[in-house]
Amino acid sequence: MKVLVVGGGGREHALAWKIAQSPRVTKLYCAPGNPGIAHVAECLPIPSDDIDALRDAVKAHRVDLTVVGPEAPLAAGIVDAFRRDKLLIFGPHQAAARIEASKSFSKDLMARLRIPTAEAQTFTALAPALEYLDRRDAPIVVKADGLAQGKGVVVAATRAEAREAVRAMLEGKAFGEAGTRVVIEEFLDGEELTVMAFTDGKTVLPLAAAQDHKRVGDGDTGPNTGGMGAYAPAPIGTRELLERVRRTILEPTVEGLSRLGSPFHGVLYAGLMMVRGEPKVLEFNARMGDPETQVVLPLLKTDVVEVLMAVAEHRLDRLTVEWHERAAVCVVLAASGYPGTPVKGTPIAGLAELERRDELVAFHAGTAAGPGGVVTAGGRVLGVTGIGETLESARDRAYAGVRRISFDGMHYRSDIAARALNRR
């Protein structure tokens, strides 16, 4: 069968890499892809949010299944458009994708379903928002309602900082449309954990738990980023905990969306904070995590295409999903300037050395083809992923890979997975 992956970052490289290993796949496309993805798929020069052009390409190339990586096309209704034309696609409809695209929708849903989460209120006007802040203690969290590419969240250490953030979002329109509504939320202190699950709107199958590293610097210091690395399985994500997350968070949410008439099909991502042993939801996403996908997909033993098809055809109840007893660690190599404005066009050395290895993969996140080879084209450039029998061997492989790659201004965290390894 022919498959199209929509997107062009590290998550989509991991998806394409895994899908290319399926014996069922005869042809793999990716739109727009990147130079790393081009090793396993034919890249089509179509932006991931050009729904009409993607649909035309799927028809022209007779693609059997489309798999959507990023949130923007989901929020824009790519699944609705494809399904109207009877094209098979993996991902949630626009209405269900609101769980990520609108934080106020997601908070209302959680309140209604009594899903454990931070206490919060939504505001569209400045005066009541500031008044509310006066009655709350710092630290406190201010979030833009809409999609802001992971940058719409301010964890304010003081009330003054929170006021500033609310003002910037509601008055300054710092986030455009996304910030015309803000959610002010209780600060939760604890350890973060990502639990993603395949769901067809009825059956919910959690994936291995992963941990992301959001801050730019070692020891969780410096500003927030889109994610500087990840590892899986996270030791705190025990079988018991995953079962509890499924029962108290994922299943009620999936059922609740179905009852609302917006059933969710795809991967539901729960960003959790473990507060005194209890999982509470920080956010839901309507797609796989980045960089979590780079460490979770390598652990999947069942043919990924079987799983994607079962979700897209709403028959997940008849599938058993198996996992390798292994671990994976992904270290993100970032460009100079990141998480501010990254320097683009810098040549990358050492990539060829990492090709054709089973247990070490450099997933391309922000790269482009330059005149003399691959160059940087974004903040997060590569996700160097090591796979091993243990977390420790996976970590060692990943860092051995990191040492082979270099580019001007390259920076990365040297403590990915350290928290899990030090726990022992």
User: What residues between 346 and 365 interact with ligand AMP by CB under 6 A?
Assistant: none
**Closer to ligand AMP by Cβ: residue 24 or 151:** 151
* Residue 185 touches ligand AMP, criterion: CB under 6 A: yes
Which range touches ligand AMP (CB under 6 A), out of 104-112, 149-157, 163-171, 366-374? 149-157
Cβ 212 to ligand GLY shortest distance, Å? 4
Give the DSSP letter string of 104-145.
HHHHHHHHHHT--B--EEEESSHHHHHHHHHTSPSSEEEEES
- Of 145, 185, 290, 303, the residue at the interface with ligand GLY (CB under 6 A) is 290
Which range touches ligand AMP (CB under 6 A), out of 47-55, 187-195, 350-358, 414-422? 187-195
Residue nearest to ligand GLY (CB): 289
User: What residues between 201 and 240 interact with ligand AMP by CB under 6 A?
Assistant: 214
Give the DSSP letter string of 235-260.
TTS-HHHHHHHIIIIIHHHHHHHHHT
Q: How far is CA 23 from the centre of its chain?
A: 26
* Residue 75 touches ligand AMP, criterion: CB under 6 A: no
* Residue 100 touches ligand GLY, criterion: CB under 6 A: no
Which range touches ligand AMP (CB under 6 A), out of 49-57, 160-168, 182-190, 305-313? 182-190
- Of 282, 308, 348, 360, the residue at the interface with ligand AMP (CB under 6 A) is 282
Nearest CA to 39 out of 357, 287, 305, 394 is that of 357
For residue 261, count CB atoms less than 10 angstroms from its CB and return exposed for 0-12, middle for 13-18, buried for 19 or more: exposed
* Amino acid identity for residue 101 in this structure: A
* Residue 303 touches ligand GLY, criterion: CB under 6 A: no
> Which helix or strand (DSSP H or E) is residue 283 part of?
strand 278-285
* Residue 294 touches ligand GLY, criterion: CB under 6 A: no
Cβ 71 to ligand AMP shortest distance, Å? 11
Pairwise CA distance, residues 12 & 31, whole Å: 10
* Residue 71 touches ligand AMP, criterion: CB under 6 A: no
**Closer to ligand GLY by Cβ: residue 185 or 290:** 290
* From the list ligand GLY, ligand AMP, none, partner contacted by residue 299 (C-beta under 5 to 8 A by kind): none
* Residue 299 touches ligand AMP, criterion: CB under 6 A: no
User: What residues between 387 and 416 interact with ligand AMP by CB under 6 A?
Assistant: none
**Contact (Cβ atoms closer than 8 angstroms) between residue 245 and residue 279:** yes
* Residue 12 touches ligand GLY, criterion: CB under 6 A: no
Pairwise CA distance, residues 270 & 286, whole Å: 9
ω into 252 cis (within 30 of 0): no
Tell me what percent of the chain is helix, strand and coil, each rounded to the nearest 5: 35, 30, 40
- Of 104, 225, 262, 285, the residue at the interface with ligand GLY (CB under 6 A) is 285
For residue 370, the cross-strand partners are 373
User: What residues between 111 and 130 interact with ligand AMP by CB under 6 A?
Assistant: 118
* From the list ligand AMP, ligand GLY, none, partner contacted by residue 192 (C-beta under 5 to 8 A by kind): ligand AMP
For residue 145, the cross-strand partners are none
**Contact (Cβ atoms closer than 8 angstroms) between residue 291 and residue 230:** yes
Question: SS3 of 315, please?
Answer: coil
* From the list ligand GLY, ligand AMP, none, partner contacted by residue 290 (C-beta under 5 to 8 A by kind): ligand GLY
* Residue 192 touches ligand AMP, criterion: CB under 6 A: yes
